[in-house]
């Protein structure tokens, strides 16, 4: 089987790496890919949002399975377009992907079907949103409703911060059209956990837990990013909680989407806050998380390709999912200035030395090849991932590899995985 992976980040490098291990696969292509995918797949210079060109490539090259990484092409309807032409593609339809494409839609679904989430209000008027936060004058979370690459969420401690957030999103258009509508939520306290699941629209097969680190700086300080690191599994999510999340969140959501005439197939990602009153939904995403995918896939013992096929065919109930007993930690190495302005084109050294360390995989994100050199080409540049007997051991290996990699202007957090040994943090997104 010839497989096409769409996207060019660390998540897509991890998907290519895992798909390549399947005996069912004869060739892997990645569009547009990066310097890491170029070493193990055939990069195709087509951006992830160029659906017509991707469709033409898949038809001409007899692609047997397409796997979509990022959210934008899903929301644009790439799955619908490929299926119309009889091509097999893994991911939700455009109507189902609205679960991520519109936070307002997602919250309304949660409210309608009684799923546990924070109280909220939505606004398309800057004036009304500003008046609301002034009147509330308490900790709130202000979110751009549309797609904002994981950055459109601002945690606010008081009315002034909330007003500044509303101004930035709706007035200054910090996240572009994604901020035409905002969702303003009550602030929740606890630890965040990411729970991802395969689904064929009826059956839900949960993956092991993961924990993202969204803030740019150590100690969960600074602005939100697309993710500065992740670990899997997380002690914050005991196995006894799995059944509760499956029965009270994931399955009810799948049934709700079916009832709405939007059957959901693909990866369902639930960002949860583990509060004193139980798990509460922060968000749903319509695809693999980044960077959660990296530690999850290095721990996944099962062949991933049959799972993709079962979701497409509606046979997921016949599948199971096996995990390696190790813990995995992914440290994101970013460009200085991320998530704000950063420079590109910096030469990266030490990649081979880092990858040669035991139990380490260096996943590329914002990289490109140029005349035999690997250069930085994005905000999040690498996802250095290691496995160990526990979180501390895996983190030690990951940071040993990080220390071997150099370029001019590196930024990374030094506390990825530390929550596994800490008391619950206060955060929301």
Residue 112 lies in a domain: no
SS3 203: coil
Residue 160 lies in a domain: yes
Q: Clarify whether residues 75 and 155 are in a common domain.
A: no
Residues 286, 360 within the same domain: no
Same domain for 333 and 411, yes or no, is: yes
Question: Could you tell me if 87 and 124 lie in one domain?
Answer: no
Q: What pLDDT, in 10s, does the model give residues 46-76? A: 999 999 999 999 999 999 999 999 999 999 9
pLDDT > 90? residue 419? no
For residue 221, give Cα distances in angstroms to 227, 236, 298.
13, 20, 28
Q: 367: domain CATH number?
A: 3.90.600.10
Residue 111 parent element (H or E): helix 103-112
pLDDT for 73 equals 98
Q: Give the three-class secondary structure for 368.
A: strand
Separation between Cα atoms, residue 176 and residue 421, nearest integer Å: 38
Q: How far apart are alpha carbons 210 and 40 in whole angstroms? A: 26
Instruction: Tell me: do 234 and 160 sit in the same domain.
Output: no
Co-location of 79 and 44 in the same domain: yes
Angle 213-215-217 from CA coordinates, rounded to 5°: 105
Instruction: Name all contacts of 104-107 with Cβ < 8 Å and 24+ positions apart.
Output: 104/145, 104/181, 104/183, 106/283, 106/284, 107/183, 107/185
Q: How many residues belong to the chain?
A: 429
Banded pLDDT at 428 (limits 50, 70, 90): very low
pLDDT band per the 50, 70, 90 thresholds, residue 425: very low
Contact 66, 51 (CB under 8 A): no
Give the number of domains in the chain: 4
Asked whether residue 297 falls in the same domain as residue 359, the answer is no
The dihedrals phi and psi of 327, each to the nearest 5 degrees, come to: -100, 150
Positive or negative CA dihedral for 425, 69, 380, 300? positive
pLDDT given at position 240? 85
Query: Do 220 and 310 reside in the same domain of the chain?
Result: yes
pLDDT score, position 429: 47
- 177 shares its domain with 211: no
How do residues 156-202 score in pLDDT, each as one tens digit? 999 999 999 999 999 999 999 999 999 999 999 999 999 999 999 99
Among the candidates 318, 342, 370, a domain finishes at: 318
Tens of pLDDT, residue by residue over 326-372, are 999 999 999 999 999 999 999 999 999 999 999 999 999 999 999 99
Residue 296 CA to residue 107 CA, distance in Å, equals 27
Q: Which residue has the higher pLDDT, 396 or 240?
A: 396
* Per-residue confidence (pLDDT) for residue 148, from 0 to 100: 85
Residue 109 lies in a domain: no
Do 70 and 48 contact (CB within 8 A), yes or no?
Answer: yes
Q: What is the mean pLDDT of residues 279-296?
A: 96
Give the Cα separation of 250 and 239 in Å (integer). Answer: 15
User: Is the residue at 241 inside a domain?
Assistant: yes
Name the domain boundary from 288, 318, 348.
318
Cross-strand pairs, 185:
120, 141
Same domain, 10 and 57: yes
What is the number of H-type helices and E-type strands within the chain? 15, 23
Please list the alpha-helical segments (H only) found in 7-86. 10-19, 35-38, 51-60, 71-76, 78-84
The dihedrals phi and psi of 308, each to the nearest 5 degrees, come to: -55, -45
Contacts 24+ apart (CB under 8 A), 251-260: 251/204, 252/113, 252/114, 252/115, 253/109, 253/110, 253/113, 253/115, 253/284, 254/199, 254/201, 254/202, 254/204, 255/113, 256/109, 256/112, 256/113, 256/115, 257/96, 257/99, 257/109, 258/201, 258/202, 260/109
What confidence tens digit (pLDDT) does each residue in 100-135 have? 999 999 999 999 999 999 999 999 999 999 999 999
Which CATH number covers residue 213? Answer: 3.30.470.20
Residue 154 is assigned to a structural domain of this protein = yes
Residue 184 β-bridge partners: 121, 142
Does 423 score more than 80 pLDDT?
no
The 10s digit of each residue's pLDDT in 229-278 is 999 999 889 888 999 999 999 999 999 999 999 999 999 999 999 999 99
Q: How confident is the model at residue 224 (pLDDT cuts 50, 70, 90)?
A: confident
End residue of a domain, out of 293, 318, 343 = 318
Confidence of residue 149 (pLDDT cuts 50, 70, 90): confident
pLDDT at 426: 40
DSSP-assigned letter for residue 349? B
Residue 213 in domain: yes
How high is the pLDDT of residue 418?
87
- One domain for residues 332 and 401: yes
First to last CA, the chain: 39
> Is 208 in the same domain as 312?
yes
Q: For 289-338, how does the pLDDT look when each residue is reduced to its tens digit (9 = 90+)?
A: 999 999 999 999 999 999 999 999 999 999 999 999 999 999 999 999 99
Domain contains 222: yes
Of 238, 159, 156, 210, nearest to 426 (Cα)? 156
CATH assignment at residue 169: 3.30.1490.20
Rounded mean pLDDT, 14-27: 98
Fill in the DSSP letter of residue 338.
T
**Structural domain range at position 233:** 191-318
- Whether 80 is covered by a domain: the verdict is yes
Distance, in Å, from the CA atom of 153 to the CA atom of 224, rounded to the nearest integer, reads 7
């Amino acid at each position: 089987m010839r497989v096409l992976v769409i996207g060019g980040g660390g998540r897509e490098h991890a998907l290519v790496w895992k798909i390549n291990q399947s005996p069912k696969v004869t060739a892997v292509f990645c569009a547009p890919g990066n310097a890491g995918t170029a070493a193990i797949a055939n990069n195709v210079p087509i951006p992830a949002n160029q659906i017509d060109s991707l469709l033409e490539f898949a038809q001409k090259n007899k692609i047997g399975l397409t796997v979509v990484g990022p959210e934008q092409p899903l929301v644009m309807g790439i799955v619908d377009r490929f299926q119309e032409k009889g091509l097999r593609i893994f991911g939700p339809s455009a109507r189902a992907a609205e679960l991520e494409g519109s936070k307002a839609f997602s919250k309304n679904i949660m409210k309608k079907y009684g799923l546990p989430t924070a109280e909220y209000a939505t606004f398309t008027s800057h004036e009304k949103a500003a008046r609301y936060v002034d009147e509330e004058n308490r900790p709130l979370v202000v979110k751009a409703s549309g797609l904002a690459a994981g950055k459109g969420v601002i945690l606010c401690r008081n009315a002034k911060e909330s007003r500044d957030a509303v101004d930035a999103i709706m007035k200054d258009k910090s996240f572009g059209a994604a901020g035409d509508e905002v969702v303003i939520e009550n602030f929740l306290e606890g630890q965040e956990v990411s729970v991802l699941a395969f689904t064929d629209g009826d059956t839900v097969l949960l993956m092991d837990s993961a924990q993202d680190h969204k803030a740019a700086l150590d100690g969960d300080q600074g602005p939100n990013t697309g993710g500065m690191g992740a670990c899997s599994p997380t002690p914050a999510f005991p196995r006894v909680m799995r059944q509760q999340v499956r029965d009270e969140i994931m399955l009810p959501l799948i049934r709700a989407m079916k009832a709405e005439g939007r059957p959901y197939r693909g990866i369902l990602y639930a960002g949860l806050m583990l509060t004193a009153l139980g798990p509460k939904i922060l968000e749903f995403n319509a695809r693999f998380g980044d960077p959660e995918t990296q530690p999850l896939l290095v721990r996944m013992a099962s062949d991933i390709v049959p799972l993709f096929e079962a979701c497409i065919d509606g046979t997921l109930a016949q599948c199971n999912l096996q995990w390696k007993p190790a813990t995995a930690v992914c440290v994101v190495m970013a460009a200085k200035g991320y998530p704000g302005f950063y420079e590109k084109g910096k030469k990266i050294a030490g990649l081979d030395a880092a990858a040669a360390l035991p139990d380490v995989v260096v996943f590329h994100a914002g990289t490109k090849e140029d005349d035999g050199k690997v250069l930085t080409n994005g905000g999040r540049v690498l996802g250095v991932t290691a496995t160990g007997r526990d979180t501390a051991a895996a983190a030690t290996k990951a940071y040993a590899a990080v220390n071997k990699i150099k370029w001019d202007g590196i930024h990374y957090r030094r506390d990825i995985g530390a929550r596994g040994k800490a008391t619950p943090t206060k955060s929301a997104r």
